[in-house]
Amino acid sequence: MKMQNDVVPPSTPQVPPQAQFVTIHEEDAGQRIDNYLLRVCKGVPKSHIYRILRSGEVRVNKGRIDQLYRLQEGDMVRIPPVRVAEKSDHSAVPAAEFRIIHEDSHLLVIDKPAGTAVHGGSGVSFGVIEQLRASRPEARFLELVHRLDRDTSGLLLLAKKRSALTNLHEQMRDGLTDKRYLTLVAGDWKNARQHVKLPLHKYTTAEGERRVAVQADGLPSHTVFSLLRKYKDFALLEAELKTGRTHQIRVHLSSSGFAIAGDDKYGDFALNRALLKADATRGALKRMFLHAHQITFMHPETGKNMTLNAPLAAECERFLVSLGKPLNIDGPR
């Protein structure tokens, strides 16, 4: 029962949702308006994004635009009230920095350790990109330029501006970048320099795992392998990518009869098990021996030619030392 002297607080009026007005910065310039909205309005169905574009509820500089409009620096974008999904809890992503090889206002190049995914998905809740974003909350833009397999270590490029991302993607598409990897294969590798051109087909297993196979109707793929050092049972190679297909180096080597040491998808599984423990002839290797050690590209802003290197991962270097003196050291270095 309500007492006579009780004070009933006035009800709080519901404030209707308001439109947002966003100024476009350099990082988002050049992006199509539909792609921009899909990114910033996370949780909003794609169909709803295109509906508000068609209806004219989205305005740029107070004028109507279509979905193909490309944003320019300084544009004022009106985003109408939209219902978005609850924001995911990013506190579960531990902030992390990685060894930096190069950083400027356009680029971040890191040395990714083996065993770390580049992004979340496929059973991995987070990867390099999520951890870097968590450690750099002030960053307006940070995107992967390319990817590395989870078990591959080495150079990974990230763009800090959309213009840099677009430029580097164009360079890669046009074959203007040079990516080189170090890998150790089991067997008696003969040639100082060997071209492998085998078409690759990407498919998904019944368990949902991504795999690649050599197939006549696959995508044209080309890798150049150079012999660096030869050991009794292994050979250290440099792999130069002429195309950039998924698992290209791994499948080209496996299909040529030379498994990468520690490769758990396309490798020699009995050898991998044996490598987990040291024996009288060598140390142990508990990872795949594949390392992105060099990349050459043109800086997206200055146009200057850049070559960056990441030293061979310590665990791989230790394994090489354990193999003893190479049988030959005359290969290209």
CATH classification of the domain holding 116:
3.30.70
- Give the per-residue pLDDT at 216: 95
Is residue 170 situated within a structural domain? no
Is residue 69 situated within a structural domain? yes
Quick one: 111 and 41 in the same domain? no
Paired sense of beta strands 153-159 and 290-298, if any? parallel
Query: Per the residue annotation, which of 28, 75, 111, 149 is the catalytic one?
Result: 149
Quick one: 129 and 219 in the same domain? no
- Give the per-residue pLDDT at 1: 47
Quick one: 246 and 115 in the same domain? no
Neighbouring residues of 19: CB distance < 8 A, sequence distance ≥ 6: 78, 79, 80, 81
- Give the per-residue pLDDT at 8: 52
Quick one: 73 and 184 in the same domain? no
Quick one: 234 and 103 in the same domain? no
Domain assignment of residue 49, given as a range? 20-79
Quick one: 218 and 99 in the same domain? no
The residue among 126, 123, 96, 124 whose CA lies nearest residue 110 is 96
Quick one: 73 and 98 in the same domain? no
**94-115: b (≥16 Cβ within 10 Å) or e:** eeeebeebeeeebbbbbbbbbe
- Give the per-residue pLDDT at 293: 98
Is residue 13 situated within a structural domain? no
- Give the per-residue pLDDT at 15: 55
For each successive 10 residues of the chain (333 residues), what is the average pLDDT? 51 66 82 85 84 90 90 89 57 83 96 92 79 90 93 96 93 94 96 97 85 95 97 96 95 97 96 96 96 98 96 96 82 45
- Give the per-residue pLDDT at 59: 92
Quick one: 117 and 214 in the same domain? no
- Give the per-residue pLDDT at 13: 55
Quick one: 231 and 189 in the same domain? yes
Catalytic annotation on 149?
Answer: yes
Overall domain count for the chain? 3
- Give the per-residue pLDDT at 206: 81
Model's pTM, two decimal places? 0.76
d(CA 109, CA 121): 22
d(CA 90, CA 142): 16
- Give the per-residue pLDDT at 88: 47
Quick one: 264 and 143 in the same domain? no
69: domain CATH number is 3.10.290.10
